[in-house]
């Protein structure tokens, strides 16, 4: 495998790792995206030097995002996979399944923390000084979340 393909596989793996997705999932996508033919799980595991279980888990995740598709190879009973050619579709699915989901989960967690903070302060578990610091910092984080939420419609239009 050439340096270009290896570099792309590494870049895709790093990108996924940076956004909280297993590195191997990104590497699988990178391998399939630049592969001229469909690959089996054995091919994927062998070329990436990962376990077949890791190749299977990453492939299932990518199938769920519709980033890859399963294809039939005549005369072979194994499952083969290829990347979908339209990168915009992949980005749209990743946005829906990863970014937006994480922002929504984080929103719920911040609201829960703020409610807990108020309850702890009201019950006397937390002193005023500690309460004010925590409240101020959680509100700052909440403002960042608000900004991310404002970006969501623009990202959806771009994708």
**Do residues 145 and 104 share a domain?**
yes
pLDDT digits (tens), the chain, 159 positions:
789 999 999 999 998 888 778 999 999 999 999 999 999 999 999 999 999 999 999 999 999 888 899 999 899 899 999 998 777 777 777 777 777 777 788 888 988 999 999 999 999 998 899 999 999 999 888 888 888 777 777 766 665
Residues 92 and 98: their CA atoms lie apart, in Å, by 10
Q: What is the pTM of this model?
A: 0.67
Burial (CB count within 10 angstroms: exposed 0-12, middle 13-18, buried 19+), residue 65: buried
**Do residues 95 and 72 share a domain?**
no
Domains held by the chain: number: 2
**Do residues 35 and 46 share a domain?**
yes
**Do residues 70 and 111 share a domain?**
no
Query: Could you tell me the residue range of the domain that residue 79 belongs to?
Result: 3-85
**Do residues 100 and 77 share a domain?**
no
Token digits for 111?
Answer: 């609201």
- Which of 35, 66, 85 is at the close of a domain? 85
């Amino acid at each position: 495998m050439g340096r270009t393909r290896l570099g792309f596989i590494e870049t895709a793996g790093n990108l996924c790792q940076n956004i909280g997705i297993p590195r191997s999932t990104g590497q699988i996508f990178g391998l399939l995206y630049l592969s001229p033919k469909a690959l089996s799980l054995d091919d994927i595991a062998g070329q990436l030097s990962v376990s077949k279980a890791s190749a299977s888990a990453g492939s299932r995740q990518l199938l769920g995002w519709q980033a890859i598709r399963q294809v039939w190879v005549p005369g072979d009973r194994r499952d083969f996979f290829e990347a979908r050619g339209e990168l915009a579709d992949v980005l749209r699915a990743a946005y829906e399944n990863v970014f937006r989901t994480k922002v929504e989960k984080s929103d719920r967690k911040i609201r829960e923390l703020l409610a807990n903070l108020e309850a702890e302060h009201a019950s006397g578990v937390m002193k005023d000084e500690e309460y004010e610091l925590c409240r101020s910092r959680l509100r700052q984080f909440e403002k960042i979340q608000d900004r991310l939420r404002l970006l969501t419609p623009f990202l959806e239009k771009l994708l």
